[in-house]
Amino acid sequence: MAVLTPYGRRGLIVGGVIVFLGLVGLLEAFSTRSIINVLRTAGGKPVAVTLLSLPELLALIVAFVAVRGLLPARPRALDAFGAVGCGAAASAVTAAFVRLGPALGAGGDGFELRDVFIHATPELFEVLGSFAWHLPLAALAAVAVAFVRPDVRRAVTAGAIAVALVGVLSDHVTILLDHNGVPRASTAWFLRGKSLTVAGAATLFGGVAALRWLGERFRPVADRRLAARPARDRRWLRRGGIALAGVALIALPRFAGSYHSEVLNQVGLFVLMGLGLNIVVGFAGMLDLGYVAFFALGAYTMGVLTSPESFLAAATVPGGQPVGPVGFWLALPVCIVVAVIAGTLLGVPVLSLRGDYLAIVTLGFGEIIRVLALSEWLKPFLGGSLGLKRIPPIKVPWLAIGDGCAARGIDVPLCVYRLAIDGPDKPQKLFYILLAGCVVAAFVALRLKDSRHGRAWMALREDEDVAQAMGIDLVRTKLMAFAIGAAFSGLSGAIFAPKLVSIFPHSFNLLISINILALIIVGGMGSIPGVIVGALALVGLPELLREFAEYRLWAYGIVLVVMMLYRPEGMIPSTATLRELRPDDDASPGDAASPSPAGPGTAVAAAGAEARA
């Protein structure tokens, strides 16, 4: 019987977590998102009824993960029994809350649960009540998954993730299909209203799972065959792949439409900044929490230089000539240079600081920049809290040619031109500029990583004293990291300003720095593909889930903690980070090492590291 105690306790915790998610308001906010629906006839008319909603899915995931974590590698009958009991306990807690919660307000003494917990609404009780008793299903699924072969398990997981993602984002899928002229009738078997049909979900699940399984099965064979080909063939294959990816990216805005291009642009801005911060944090190991400062500098420099309302536009040079606003392309290098100079200047005083002190001081810098931009003192130059307005859109000469031709009814042969013909300043065009910026930045970062500087940064990250002893000029190496990181961020800011037309100091708060940090950590510190994946997951996904906006930072907090506890190397780790973060050869004896046995988190992390090894 003692085997069952942890299951019961875990069940109570799961129930508590689900109630907590409800009280925070997350479940209610998501209650309109349905993942799978079925048709029922009500009053003679067919009505789409939700079979699985997003709140229910979240609750099931929580229960699943909790039970899965408790189950041993080879569960016995008693474990299966305990798992279901765990689900039942969780259900009981949820149901008890649904039953007792509304009663709390009925005492007649003027007190209501809602006075304290603002989300304890009747809607919440309804949402929770609708799935309160389904949680043992998740426990059963966890038991079932424990018995499956690992390759099948991975395939099933991939299929489930695909169904969840497409189901959650089905309104966006519909928009995209409409934009590309796919008739709704031809997809009705797959998507109905704002969610998947059962047939659609099953097809998607089966398809993705099969692909994942086949991919895993035949990957080694393909790799072996490829390795047997001469080097020249492999090189051409690689180039072909890159060219294909390039064509796909260039065609992307055409298929994404205006709104989704805007989302991609947002992701692009953060990829740019992420690549820059990745150099500072991921390569050189200096935690910079004031990174938004350079973004702000880039944006403000662009604003001051190009806006017709800025003080510069009214100023005159000593000869009496008006200075006037300049164009984007002339201002761009200035923005980058300003950011680089600022990066170097801010880098100098913090050269001797390490780790957490560096983090706090840079955070202070970021706040100083924001406070200055907001202040009355600099208002004549930066506009104070009113910000800078009327920043003109970016004009790209060859995209303008496309516009001009289209206006004259001339068919433009090149697809790039055609794609861009969509009005003067549509997000689709900005996408190309951001794409170009990201490609350049990624290329620079990639080349730097394996260069002499890159290796100096990594040496610095591992051990500053040893790096210095090996002849690395600490000052230069550190300043270089700060300067290049600042350049990327300045570039991002310079594109951000015309994108928004007006910029305000409160767009440049600490949360941007933390956002970038979070995306680097999720992607994997020091990993360049990781930055892109992180930006898609942490910037793109929340943009698509608008009702999630309120919980975005809350989720970032959880993501940061959970990643650090269970997967500190990120989703796509770089090899060096992986080595560094293995708990068994953790090379920091000077650290606050505890003599006590490590907690459960370390054990899990260690197990994870073993599994990956």
Partner 1 sequence: MRRSTTGEQLATAMRWLTAIAVVGVLIYGPFQILRSGKYGPENWIAFVIFGLSQGSLYALIALGYTLVYGILRMINFAHGEVFMSGAYIGFFAADALNRAGRLDSTGGALLGLAVITLVAVAGSTTIAVLLERIAYRPLRRAPRLVPLITAIGASLFLQYTFSGLFGSGLRTYPTIDLLKGSFRVGSVPILKVHVLVFVAAVGLMTALYLFVQRTRAGRAMRAVSEDKDTAALMGINVDGVIVQTFMLGGALAGVAGVLHALIYGQVVFNMGFQPGLKAFTAAVLGGIGNVPGAMLGGLFLGVVESLGPALFLEGLGIPAPHQLKDAIAFSLLVLVLVFRPTGILGERVAEKRA
Touching partner 1, residues 459-498 (CB under 8 A): 463-465, 473-476, 479
**What's the Cα-to-Cα distance from 484 to each of 267, 329, 347, 476, rounded to whole Å?**
20, 20, 11, 12
Confirm if 331 and 342 have CB atoms less than 8 A apart: no
What CA–CA distance (Å, rounded) separates 241 from 239?
Answer: 5
- The pair of three-digit structure tokens given for residue 7, joined into one six-digit string: 């299951």
Of these, 363, 433, 484, 539, which contacts partner 1 (CB under 8 A)?
Answer: 363
Inter-CA distances, 381 with 57, 205, 337, 341, 376, Å: 51, 57, 19, 19, 10
Cβ nearer to partner 1, comparing 357 with 398: 357
Q: Does 592 bind partner 1 (CB under 8 A)?
A: yes
> Are the C-beta atoms of residues 106 and 28 closer than 8 Å to each other?
no
Query: What count of other Cβ atoms lies within 10 Å of the Cβ of residue 251?
Result: 13
Least CB distance to partner 1 at residue 16 (A)? 13
Strands 34-42 and 191-192: unpaired
- Measured from the CB of residue 555, what is the shortest distance to partner 1 in angstroms? 8
> Under 8 Å CB-to-CB from 22, ≥6 apart: which residues?
28, 97, 119, 124, 127, 128
Pick out residues in 114-173 that bind partner 1 (CB under 8 A).
Answer: 116-119
In sequence order, the 6+-apart residues with CB closer than 8 A to the CB of 486 are: 276, 294, 297, 339, 340, 342, 343, 344
Size of the site for partner 1 (CB under 8 A): 80
Exactly one of 103, 149, 595, 613 binds partner 1 (CB under 8 A); that residue is: 595
Closest approach of partner 1 to the CB of residue 376, in Å: 4
Whose Cβ is closer to partner 1: residue 194's or residue 567's? Answer: 567
Distance CA 529, CA 565 (A): 22
- Closest approach of partner 1 to the CB of residue 613, in Å: 18
**Beta strand pairing status for 195-197 and 191-192?**
antiparallel
The phi, psi pair for 307, rounded to 5°, reads -75, 135
Contact segment (CB under 8 A) with partner 1 among 112-120, 196-204, 215-223, 261-269 equals 112-120
Whichever of 132 and 459 has its CB closer to partner 1, that residue is 459
Contact window for partner 1 (CB under 8 A) among 24-32, 83-91, 143-151, 424-432: 24-32
> 49 pairs with which residues across the strands?
38
Candidates 144-152, 345-353, 389-397, 413-421; binding stretch for partner 1 (CB under 8 A): 345-353
**CA angle at 531 for the pair 527 and 532, rounded to the nearest 5°:** 125
Binders of partner 1 among 509-568, rule CB under 8 A?
A: 514, 517-518, 521, 550-551, 553-554, 556-561, 564-565, 568
Contacts to partner 1 from residues 166-225, by CB under 8 A: none
CA dist 365 → 278, 292, 338 (Å): 19, 9, 16
- Structure token pair of residue 134: 């389904």
Q: Which among 268, 264, 334 has a CA at the least distance from the CA of 305?
A: 334
Q: Give the interface segment with partner 1, choosing from 98-106, 265-273, 407-415, 601-609 (CB under 8 A).
A: 601-609
Closer CB to partner 1, 309 or 367, in the complex:
367
Q: Specify whether the CB–CB gap between 565 and 605 falls below 8 A.
A: yes
Give the three-state DSSP class for 192.
Answer: strand
Tell me the closest approach of the beta carbon of residue 381 to partner 1, in angstroms: 13
> Cα–Cα–Cα angle for 515, 520, 524, nearest 5°?
150
Long-range contacts of 76-85 (CB under 8 A, 24+ apart): 78/3, 78/4, 79/3, 79/143, 80/143, 81/4, 82/3, 82/4, 82/6, 82/7, 82/8, 83/7, 83/139, 83/140, 83/142, 83/143, 84/136, 84/139, 84/140, 84/143, 85/4, 85/7, 85/8, 85/11
Q: Is 583 in the site for partner 1 (CB under 8 A)?
A: yes
User: Minimal distance in Å, beta carbon 336 to partner 1?
Assistant: 21
CB of 300 to partner 1, least distance (A): 16
Segment lying near partner 1 (by CB under 8 A), choices 36-44, 126-134, 360-368, 390-398: 360-368
Candidates 123, 223, 233, 356: give the one binding partner 1 (CB under 8 A): 356
Q: Can you tell me which of 25, 136, 303, 437 binds partner 1, judged by CB under 8 A? A: 25
Q: Which residue has the tokens 């650090």?
A: 564
Contact between 12 and partner 1 per CB under 8 A: no
> What's the closest the beta carbon of residue 419 comes to partner 1, in angstroms?
39
- Closer to partner 1 at the Cβ: 450 or 465? 465
Of 364 and 423, the one with the shorter C-beta distance to partner 1 is 364
Which CB, 376 or 411, lies closer to partner 1? 376
Q: Least Å distance between CB 527 and partner 1?
A: 16
**Of the candidates 211, 361, 440, 609, which one interacts with partner 1 according to CB under 8 A?**
361
Nearer residue to partner 1 within complex by CB, 440 or 560: 560
322 vs 599, beta carbon nearer partner 1: 599
CB of 378: closest distance to partner 1 in angstroms?
A: 9
Per DSSP, helices labelled H in 183-327 are: 184-187, 198-228, 231-277, 292-306, 311-314
Looking at beta carbons only, is 244 or 466 nearer to partner 1?
466
Cα separation, 37 vs 197, whole angstroms: 5
| Closest distance of CB 518 from partner 1, Å | 8
Q: Which of 23, 98, 162, 448 binds partner 1 (CB under 8 A)?
A: 23
Q: Between 218 and 554, whose beta carbon lies closer to partner 1?
A: 554
Strand order across the 45-53 sheet: 45-53, 34-42, 195-197, 191-192
Interaction residues for partner 1, span 238-297 (CB under 8 A) = 285, 287, 289
Tokens standing for 160? 């489930």
Residue 214 or 603 having the CB closest to partner 1: 603
Q: By rule CB under 8 A, what string of x and - marks binding of each residue 368-397 to partner 1? A: x--xx-xxxx--------------------
Determine phi and psi for 410, rounding to 5 degrees.
-90, 135
In whole angstroms, the minimum distance from the beta carbon of 309 to partner 1 comes to: 20
